Structure 1
Amino acid sequence: MPDLLIELFSEEIPARMQARAAADLRRLMTDGLVEAGLTYDGAAAFATPRRLALRVDGLTDESPTRTEERRGPKADAPEKAIDGFLRSTGLSRDELEERDDKKGRVLFATVTHPGRPAADIVAEVLERTIRNFPWPKSMRWGDGPLRWVRPLRRILCILTREDGVEVVLLDVDGIAAADVTEGHRFMAPGPFRVTGFGDYERKLKRAHVVLSADERADAIWQGATNLAFASGVEVKEDKGLLAEVAGLVEWPVPLMGRIEDRFLSLPPEVLQTSMREHQKFFSAADRTGRITHFVTVANRDTADDGATILAGNGRVLSARLADAAFFWENDLRVAKAGMDEWLAKLANVTFHAKLGSQADRIERIAALAREIAPGVGADPDQAERAARLAKADLASEMVYEFPELQGVMGRYYALEAGEPEAVADAARDHYAPLGPSDTVPTDPVTVAVALADKIDTLTGFWAIDERPTGSKDPYALRRAALGVIRLVLDNRIILPLWGPMRSGFSAYGLAQPDPNDPEDFSGMAEPANLEAFLHDRLKVYLRDEGIRHDVIDACLTGDRTDDLADLVSRARALNAFLATPDGETLIQLYRRARNILTQAEDRDGVEYSYGAERALAETAEERALFDALDAASPAIDAALGAEDYAAAMAALAPLRGPIDAFFEAVQVNANSPSIRRNRLNLLSQIVRTAERIADLSRVEG
């Protein structure tokens, strides 16, 4: 069984495309080989800036011979129909078989597909893969039609067996497959032959090419941390940058330099962002956290141990940081004057064509933050002030140059303007959380502004009927909804959201739709409201926590469904209760009581809701159930009043025995109308008691 080695050697592949390209090469080749009838033991793909490589171990020598039976036309069909069938099968008329069928005599053909050598199949699949490779962007060069991310220079394709190496015969627009590759562009540019993957990887290493991206990343990080340790500093971890730089070099050589003293007064985030975005440098900080050094990664060894490369990079970095220092000084002038200049500029910055300017949005957020502040324990004046300044840095020169620093710079500028820490912190943190793993702010002022920001986003885009559809969510409304949920739940905020949402809709001249009235949607395109959208996001969030979907549905009832903390407390308590023997049995008994009650009400045309009297109880089991319900009610009342839903569930648990005994001993549909009515009213009391916590009819059996 041969091993397959493929290398597609080209000009430099963009680092951001390499990992996906390696995965695509593996997928397209292995899928194609399997579809053609070959099997294999394992496969692995690799990428460097100049090559994609694939190894496939234990490939079968040839595809198996395959027999296919095909049904043709009727035996007495017109000659043209029969001739067409013969052409499609490659058989003659006397090689067909006639069989009896429901429609008469029918022709059948048995077609044999002989096995094919692995080399033929590999050539066919590889050519198709190259010509149809899914690069995000590709180019043509020369006179041929072939497209590749950068000009393709060589194709290496060999099958290695114990008795030798077979070069797969393949030619793609004049590029013939061979057993030849090249090493490092500068350090070992000559071509060389290989006999298999092990030989290929070893010779590449000798030619100053590290094939594995993970190995290159490890070498970069190890070298950078060693250099930092020697200089008494620590490299700041940046996994994204590490992966990107590993895709820029084939022979990584980390080099450390020092930042000029004149730039050390810049905020560390500015230094780190400028070096990362413009130069792909790692930042290194001293023991006080001040960034003083940088690490660059060269693609070659040099006679002067990288001194010339480091000096050149240092000059370019100084020019970049000089620009950043210029932006910083200009921004400080505006900040110290109160940032009014920036706020005025935001009146001319469009947030959305249908939702006004950034200045309009700030006014809406400020009003919402003041409204929300008491509910989250924040000072309303500070919350409103923070909301008015939180986005001022969007007009600053630094954020214009580095948009990823929005909020971070806002905090620096707010402090320079003499604002309180809470107001400055809100500028930095009100965008959070941006994702499921992002840290949730806890300062009350920040929480008020963050909620106001996200609620304005949701109500605004709902108002103009720009809602997520399927996988499309161009305005990140699902993320905004999840942000609201996490802010409320992580901070344990008791805050009904429908009030701020009503205010959000009102800011756009729309009355808030009543969630209980499908027709009250104030001109919205369809009867789907924002509360339902939040609930859908909440379901996803709680399912990830392990809470059953039917439990969530059971709690999404009543008049407090916009109080997310209360809703989630009920869901967690019910979910835990249902996992106990008492909970499981009680749900079954509840369901039985509800079914009997519903059937009786449908049949009788009345509602059995009130009037169960202990005096009409005929059996000990009935009286015991009356007593148990009377005993449980005060405990349930107290627990619900304290919003202690675990205690409310615990108060339900003792009802299990009396209800079970009642059903075992008592016939609900008694012959006496008065006794029957009393027992149905007793079932109604059971159902109502259980449903005070949640709509248990939605809990699945």
Structure 2
Amino acid sequence: MPDLLIELFSEEIPARMQAKAAENLRKRVTDGLVEAGLTYAGARAFATPRRLTLVVSDMLAASAPVREERKGPKADAPDKAIEGFLRSTGLTRAQLETRETPKGEVLFAVMEKPGRPAAEIIAEVLETTIRSFPWPKSMRWGAGSLRWVRPLHRILCILQGEDGTEVVPLEVDGITSADLTEGHRFLAPGAFKVSGFDDYVAKLRRAKVILDPEERAGHIWADATNQAFASGLEVVEDKGLLAEVAGLVEWPVVLMGEIGEEFLELPPEVLQTSMKEHQKFFSVRDPKSGKIVRFVTVANNEAADGGAMILAGNRKVLSARLSDAKFFWENDLRVAKSGMQTWRDALGAVTFHNKLGSQEARIARIADLAAELAPQIGAEAEAARRAAGIAKADLSSEMVYEFPELQGLMGRYYAEAAGHPAEVAAVAEEHYQPLGPSDAVPTAPLSVAVALADKLDTLTGFWAIDEKPTGSKDPFALRRAALGVIRILLENGLRLKLSKYFVSGLMLDPEAQRLHLDWMEAEQKLHETVPDSEEWTRRNLISLEMNKREHELHDRKASDLVSFFHDRLKVFLRDEGIRHDVIDACLAMPGNDDLLLVVTRARALSEVLKTEDGENLLQGFKRANNILTQAEEADGVEYSYGADPKFAETEEEKALFAALDTAEAAITPALEAEDFAAAMAAMAGLRGPVDAFFEAVQVNAENAILRRNRLNLLSRIRTTCGAVADLTRIEG
């Protein structure tokens, strides 16, 4: 079974596109081969700056013959029907078979397609792949019509089998396939032949090309860390930068250089960001001082002087970049030490959203909400207000304008320079957290208060103007904000009724504002009239109606936003193994806008349902609920009270009465104390008596008194278990 090797050799492919392009090449070619009947054992794709490579191993040498049988019209069908069938099959009337069926004689077409050699199929699939390749951006060059990310120079396409190697004949826009490739642009220019994948990899390495991007990345990291270690230093880990740099070079040569002495007092994060964004340099840190003192660059060439000239040029360019950063830093420090008021005022001219006002207005809302939240979190209200007021001031700074990714971090430096306490300065950095699912959440009370206020203002504001996420689109990162709120509440063990804090944000709704103004106007006119007069009564009714409509609008949007939180909560708890129906059973209980309460209840219920007692009790509950529901529908009454042990005939009935008394006595105080584990343990203890009851007792007895009493007893089971969670929502 032959192996297929494909290489598409071009000018430099942007590093950010390489991994996706390699995967697209693998998927499109292998899908096309399989669809055409060529199966294989394995496929791997690789990318370097100048080539996309695919190797497909143990592929069929030809596709299998295909025999297709298609049923047509009856033999005596109208001529037009038969002619249409012939056109669809490509056969003549003489080639059709007539077969006897229960419905009479029917025409059948039997079409046999011979197998095709692999080379023929590969050529078709590869040409289609090249011409329709999904580059994010592509270009045309010369007089041809082919579009590629950069000019395509060569197509290597060979099949290696037991009989040797053959070139798959293919021509795309004047580029003819061959068994030729090229090495490193500078270190080994020129073309050479290859006979298969192993030969290809070996010859590329001799031609100063490392094919595997993971191997290039590993080489860069090992060499960089070794050089740093030899100087008593350490390289700052950055996996994203490592992957990008590995996509910029085919033969990585790692060089370490020094940073000018005048820049070493810049914050480490500024140095790191400037070198990464502008130069693609790794930062090298002194573990003793924590300062960034050197840089690592990766060249694509082996210089005769050991890289001295390369490093000199890099240091010169880096000094210019860091001079800018130093200028920004010094200017910003002067503003910070003057109190940052200039920056705060400037945010009044910065639009947050055209329907939600300026950044200054948003910060004022966040400050008010943070002060409202603070006492519930253990922070002082006015301290939270002050911290929120300066938390986003750095958005106006020169450094953050140049490097937006440093927002918050620079705010902490500037707040410290302005003389604010460390816990207040920390709010500027921490209130953005968590930025992602693996990011840490703030734990300091002030930071928690402002972080929650920031995210809740974002959510309520965009909810107010009906800019909610739809499908996969979430341009304002509202899902991330909701998940951030959930994680902050759960990981800090905070009990908050979220809907209480939606009011000010939802008032940004233009309709809510109009209703509020109408209500205020109606109230003003009400106070201007004589009490208890006919006009006063009329105006009072108008005022009440305006107030009612305003509250209905708020309640509707608040309920919708709470449901959004519930959906995010289900996604968040999925990794814990808590099923959606378990969460739904807990969300159906009162207080479902207190997410910590919901989760505590859901975790306890989930643990109970994992036990044999819990699972069997659930089945007993469902049986009781089904019997009771059917009886209530049939009788047109509700069996919700009146179960009396004096009418119990069997020992199992009496035992169930006693067990329910015991369970209720334990469940009620446990729920009041919000000890859901204890409440559900008491509920699970009903499993035995409930099972015994259903095994021994006929609920729908002929005696009407016994039947009614037993149905009321089932109602007690439903009520007792339903106090813990809505078990009707549990599946199974």
TM-score w.r.t. structure 1 length? 0.95
Correspondence for 2:98 = 98
Give the Cα separation in 2 of the matches to 1:672 and 1:40. 73
Correspondence for 1:458 = 459
CA displacement, residues 617-667 of structure 1 (integer Å, 9 cap, x when unaligned): 444433333332222223222221221111111222332223333333444
Give the Cα separation in 2 of the matches to 1:108 and 1:119. 33
Give the Cα separation in 2 of the matches to 1:438 and 1:622. 55
Shifted more, 145-154 versus 385-394: the winner is 385-394
CA displacement, residues 306-352 of structure 1 (integer Å, 9 cap, x when unaligned): 11111101111110000001111111111111111111111111111
Q: Within the alignment, does 1:680 sit opposite 2:711 as a pair?
A: yes
Correspondence for 1:371 = 372
CA displacement, residues 60-90 of structure 1 (integer Å, 9 cap, x when unaligned): 2111121222344554566676556545544
Deviation at 1:526, TM superposition (A): 8.9
Pick from 553, 561, 564: which aligns with 1:522? 553
| 1:649–1:527 Cα change, 3 Å | closer
Give the Cα separation in 2 of the matches to 1:293 and 1:615. 88
SS in 2 for 1:214: helix
Give the Cα separation in 2 of the matches to 1:94 and 1:518. 79
Deviation at 1:583, TM superposition (A): 0.8
Deviation at 1:606, TM superposition (A): 2.5
Give the Cα separation in 2 of the matches to 1:431 and 1:660. 53
CA displacement, residues 533-575 of structure 1 (integer Å, 9 cap, x when unaligned): 1111111111221012211111012321011111101100001
Q: How does 1:303-382 map to 2 (within 5 A)?
A: 303-382=304-383
| 1:103–1:405 Cα change, 3 Å | same
Aligned 8 A contact 2:464 2:505 in 1? no
SS in 2 for 1:40: coil
Which runs of no fewer than 5 residues in structure 1 stay unpaired? Answer: none
Give the Cα separation in 1 of the matches to 2:84 and 2:686. 78
Q: How does 1:227-238 map to 2 (within 5 A)?
A: 227-238=227-238
Q: Within the alignment, does 1:552 sit opposite 2:583 as a pair?
A: yes
Which runs of no fewer than 5 residues in structure 2 stay unpaired? Answer: 517-547
CA displacement, residues 590-627 of structure 1 (integer Å, 9 cap, x when unaligned): 22222232223223323222333344444443333333
Shifted more, 38-47 versus 277-286: the winner is 38-47
Deviation at 1:700, TM superposition (A): 1.8
Correspondence for 2:35 = 35
| 1:276–1:107 Cα change, 3 Å | same
Give the Cα separation in 1 of the matches to 2:229 and 2:591. 57
SS in 2 for 1:158: strand
Q: Within the alignment, does 1:268 sit opposite 2:268 as a pair?
A: yes
Give the aligned length: 698
Give the Cα separation in 2 of the matches to 1:144 and 1:662. 84
| 1:682–1:233 Cα change, 3 Å | same
Give the Cα separation in 2 of the matches to 1:568 and 1:561. 10
Q: How does 1:211-290 map to 2 (within 5 A)?
A: 211-287=211-287, 288-290=289-291
Correspondence for 2:657 = 626
Q: Aligned Cα RMSD in Å?
A: 2.3
SS in 2 for 1:305: coil
Deviation at 1:92, TM superposition (A): 3.6
Deviation at 1:96, TM superposition (A): 2.1
SS in 1 for 2:283: strand
Correspondence for 2:130 = 130
CA displacement, residues 42-66 of structure 1 (integer Å, 9 cap, x when unaligned): 1111100000011111122111121
Give the Cα separation in 2 of the matches to 1:660 and 1:46. 62
CA displacement, residues 129-173 of structure 1 (integer Å, 9 cap, x when unaligned): 100001111000011100000000111111112332211111111
| 1:264–1:672 Cα change, 3 Å | same
Deviation at 1:503, TM superposition (A): 3.4
Shifted more, 298-307 versus 365-374: the winner is 365-374
SS in 2 for 1:139: coil
SS in 1 for 2:575: helix
Aligned 8 A contact 2:502 2:558 in 1? no
Deviation at 1:185, TM superposition (A): 0.5
Shifted more, 535-544 versus 667-676: the winner is 667-676
Q: Within the alignment, does 1:160 sit opposite 2:191 as a pair?
A: no
Give the Cα separation in 1 of the matches to 2:558 and 2:486. 23
Q: Which amino acid aligns with 2:161?
A: R
Correspondence for 1:595 = 626
Give the Cα separation in 2 of the matches to 1:458 and 1:277. 31
Aligned 8 A contact 1:260 1:318 in 2? yes
SS in 2 for 1:8: strand
Pick from 591, 601, 604: which aligns with 1:570? 601
Indicate the percent of aligned positions where both proteins have the same amino acid. 68
Aligned 8 A contact 2:33 2:122 in 1? yes
Correspondence for 2:488 = 487
Give the Cα separation in 2 of the matches to 1:482 and 1:334. 35
Q: Which amino acid aligns with 2:269?
A: E
Shifted more, 94-103 versus 469-478: the winner is 94-103
